[in-house]
């Protein structure tokens, strides 16, 4: 069956991926192929009402329109397709034919995840027994969905695409024009680079590392080491990188210098602590000596008081003698208490002096 190109409608889900925008580079390649005599094969479509909807092949359709015009007729293969099958057909072609278009891959995977999550919430598909009620569709389920008729994409690649989407600066993702591990010193950022900078939580730090790596023309294989060094670096070193005081290649050396400075400070602090400990111990020793001296003086004083206490004083008035000895007994009691307190104090001074 033949129909005009103008009668072919887009896959209804095409607009969900990058807003339905087509890649001009891919169209140009197809136009060149058509001009060299290679015409697109049959278009696979489904009929919905009076419309013929493309299952896939939107770039081929656009290229043919530009070369042959909208009234050019092509052969179509009309097949029965559910919405789910239309999504799978389109997604599989995106992943197979444009595997070097990183953003196209990511947009496709994100759309499939959204579709499956909607199906999950609507009860069209069920959760597995071990899954939480608030858990979204995972990478493995997306990969299985896209690989119903044979392996199309690994779950590890899906997981990586979703990780980059969630953790990497949108500004950097916009610079990732290809899925190939190319590292352009000024423009393109490869997915492998995005995967490395995803380890950094701050988007500004991610952009900084990539910009500096491009300016310093650092190979993408070394970026992993740099990201790790920056991530583990102390705040002082990170701030120097942000201010442009040191280059990325100098991070490791700067960290080593900072560690050496910290060790020097630790040694100095240890020496200061030793000095403080020594002075404290000397103070405690002096205090103990003073307590011993005080004990000696008290004992000598109490010996003399005891002698007076035992002596029969010949006072003129018996009442004065009685009052004097009561006063003397009170003094002796207070001195004994003071001696006990001094003894307790000395015992409590038997402490081990340590650094703070």
273-279 contacts at long range (C-beta below 8 A, 24 or more positions apart): 273/355, 273/356, 274/355, 276/355, 277/353, 277/354, 277/355
pLDDT at 13 over 90: yes
Give a yes or no: residue 330 inside a domain.
Answer: yes
pLDDT at 52 over 90: yes
* Residues 332, 337: Cα–Cα separation, whole Å: 9
Give a yes or no: residue 76 inside a domain.
Answer: no
pLDDT at 45 over 50: yes
Give a yes or no: residue 354 inside a domain.
Answer: no
pLDDT at 178 over 70: no
Give a yes or no: residue 342 inside a domain.
Answer: yes
Bigger pLDDT: 51 vs 333 = 51
pLDDT at 316 over 60: no
pLDDT tens track for 127-166: 766 666 667 888 888 888 888 666 678 888 899 999 999 9
Give a yes or no: residue 263 inside a domain.
Answer: yes
Give a yes or no: residue 301 inside a domain.
Answer: yes
Give a yes or no: residue 262 inside a domain.
Answer: yes
* Residues 31, 26: Cα–Cα separation, whole Å: 9
Cβ partners under 8 Å of residue 131, min gap 6: none
> Average pLDDT for residues 92-115, to the nearest whole number?
85
In terms of C-beta density within 10 A (0-12 exposed, 13-18 middle, 19 or more buried), how is residue 213 classed? buried
Bigger pLDDT: 269 vs 313 = 269
pLDDT at 5 over 70: yes
> Average pLDDT for residues 26-31, to the nearest whole number?
90
Give a yes or no: residue 53 inside a domain.
Answer: no
pLDDT at 217 over 50: yes
Token pair for 146: 């896209």
Domain that holds residue 286: 255-348
Residue 1: its pLDDT value, please?
87
Question: How many separate domains does the chain show?
Answer: 1
Task: List 46's β-bridge partners, or say none.
Answer: 53
* Residues 30, 294: Cα–Cα separation, whole Å: 107
């Amino acid at each position: 069956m033949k129909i005009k190109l103008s009668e072919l409608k887009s896959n209804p889900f095409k607009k969900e991926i990058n807003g339905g925008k087509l890649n001009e580079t891919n169209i140009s390649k197809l136009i060149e192929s058509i001009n060299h005599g290679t015409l697109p094969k049959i278009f696979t479509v489904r009929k919905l009402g009076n419309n013929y909807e493309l299952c896939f092949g939107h770039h081929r359709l656009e290229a043919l329109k530009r070369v042959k015009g909208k009234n050019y007729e092509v052969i179509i293969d009309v097949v029965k397709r559910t919405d789910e099958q239309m999504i799978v057909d389109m997604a599989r072609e995106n992943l197979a034919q444009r595997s070097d278009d990183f953003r196209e891959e990511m947009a496709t995977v994100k759309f499939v995840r959204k579709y499956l999550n909607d199906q999950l919430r609507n009860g069209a598909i069920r959760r597995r027994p071990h899954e939480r009620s608030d858990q979204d569709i995972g990478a493995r389920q997306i990969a299985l969905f896209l690989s119903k008729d044979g392996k199309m994409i690994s779950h590890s690649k899906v997981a990586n695409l979703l990780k980059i989407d969630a953790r990497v600066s949108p500004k950097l993702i916009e610079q990732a024009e290809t899925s190939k591990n190319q590292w352009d010193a000024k423009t393109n950022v490869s997915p492998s680079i995005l995967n490395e900078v995803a380890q950094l939580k701050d988007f500004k730090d991610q952009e900084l590392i990539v910009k500096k790596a491009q300016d310093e023309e650092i190979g993408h294989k070394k970026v992993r080491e740099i990201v790790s060094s920056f991530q583990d670096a102390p705040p002082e070193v990170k701030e120097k990188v942000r201010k442009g005081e040191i280059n990325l290649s100098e991070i490791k050396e700067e960290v080593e210098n900072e560690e050496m400075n910290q060790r020097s400070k630790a040694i100095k602090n240890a020496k200061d602590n030793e000095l403080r400990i020594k002075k404290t111990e000397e103070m405690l020793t002096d205090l103990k000596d003073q307590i011993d001296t005080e004990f000696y003086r008290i004992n000598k004083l109490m010996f003399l008081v005891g002698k007076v206490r035992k002596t029969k004083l010949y006072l003129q008035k018996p009442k004065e003698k009685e009052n004097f000895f009561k006063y003397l007994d009170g003094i002796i009691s207070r001195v004994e208490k003071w001696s006990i307190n001094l003894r307790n104090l000395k015992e409590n001074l038997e402490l081990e002096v340590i650094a703070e």
